[in-house]
Amino acid sequence: PGVRTYIDPHTYEDPNQAVHEFAKEIEASCITIERVIGAGEFGEVCSGRLKLPGKREFPVAIKTLKVGYTEKQRRDFLGEASIMGQFDHPNIIHLEGVVTKSKPVMIVTEYMENGSLDTFLKKNDGQFTVIQLVGMLRGIASGMKYLSDMGYVHRDLAARNILINSNLVCKVSDFGLSRVLEDDPEAAYTTRGGKIPIRWTAPEAIAFRKFTSASDVWSYGIVMWEVVSYGERPYWEMTNQDVIKAVEEGYRLPSPMDCPAALYQLMLDCWQKDRNSRPKFDEIVSMLDKLIRNPSSLKTLVNASSRVSNLLVEHSPLGSGAYRSVGEWLEAIKMGRYTEIFMENGYSSMDAVAQVTLEDESPCERWSLTHQPLFPNGYQT
């Protein structure tokens, strides 16, 4: 049989028909709700257990629709189930079914013990081997390959929308319709009125609403960066406007600390301005498989001095003598953790830092001027 194609539930005149076509109805009596584990736009998210006739009880996550909902909210809420129910892949969150014939209306999915990937990585900072991190990334890429093969564009791929279980298997989640971005605290209104999670979104999607699997690949590159930096916030404290401007001007996030060069190169490939130059998800899966099969290929780390000299620094504080030491300046631009690397590379005074000019002969010794540490994308030499 050929590859199945995703069907947009919006194309159904009767949304209830879409739900019943793609999601199994579960009797409310089969569900035991245990505790609240989160909140969404539509209501609470709980953990609990599901006991289906003739099967053993097993843990599940349950999303409930709060009382007093409008018909549109019910439709949007169940829209996620209509989407999820079309997918069947080990790296996509699995829908068990829905409760629509009694109240509260519920969506029941498999339970992911470790919750969202960004929070999990922050809690376990530095605890995993590079191979474990690459394994997580491979799982996410595999799930995204499946979605892109089905013709589904996610639009909100970010570590907060990846769930991770007790075996460290990562699964893509968050398949809302209008609520994909309504419910995302990272989504910001753009000048054209839409809501977009700027830091994760490809420039053409921000500027022209061109959401494609290629824009999902850009977002995947940001997820790679989040994973290798253990849940650090992309572009740190930069404003959304500054992020848009920097990315448009060709600046890119610097390599996370101790990042294998092969992984950082793959991130830069995902962040190609021309979307046709970005790798496809099947190529990303193959590349990661190759790295996992040859772990020694992950031993070469991004050169520390090239990382330092590619930090973009704001010019004014350097010229004004506003900082007494390199450490104080780095703390001020939220880069205190790089102090040691600066010292090791001979940048021990603000004078030494200020003397690194744009005309330096070595391409690795270029500084560019902006508010925060980023790499110019011309760094690939």
Q: Which residues are annotated as a binding site for ATP?
A: 63
Give the integer Cα–Cα distance in Å for 233 and 200.
Answer: 10
As a whole number of angstroms, the distance between CA 232 and CA 254 comes to: 12
Question: Which helix (H) or strand (E) covers residue 241, if one does?
Answer: helix 240-248
Catalytic residue among 88, 125, 149, 156: 156
Query: 242 is written with which tokens?
Result: 């500054």
Give me the residue label for tokens 């069947």: 88
Cβ contacts of 221 within 8 Å, gap of 6 or more: 266, 267, 268, 269, 270, 271
65 close to 104: Cβ distance less than 8 angstroms = yes
Contact in structure between 268 and 252 (CB atoms under 8 Å): yes
Residue 319 and residue 354 in contact, taking contact as beta carbons nearer than 8 Å: yes
4-41: b (≥16 Cβ within 10 Å) or e: eeebebeebeebeebbbebbeebeeebbebeeeeeebe
Give the C-alpha separation, 22 to 358, whole Å: 57
Handedness of CA 90, 3, 157, 200 (dihedral sign): positive
For helices 15-22 and 71-84, give the axis angle rounded to 10 degrees.
Answer: 30
Place of tokens 């579960």: 26
Question: Known binding site: residues?
Answer: 63
The phi, psi pair for 107, rounded to 5°, reads -120, 130
What is the biggest distance separating any 2 CA atoms in the chain, rounded to whole angstroms?
75
156: annotated active-site residue = yes
How many angstroms separate the CA atoms of 171 and 116, rounded?
10
Residues marked as catalytic? 156
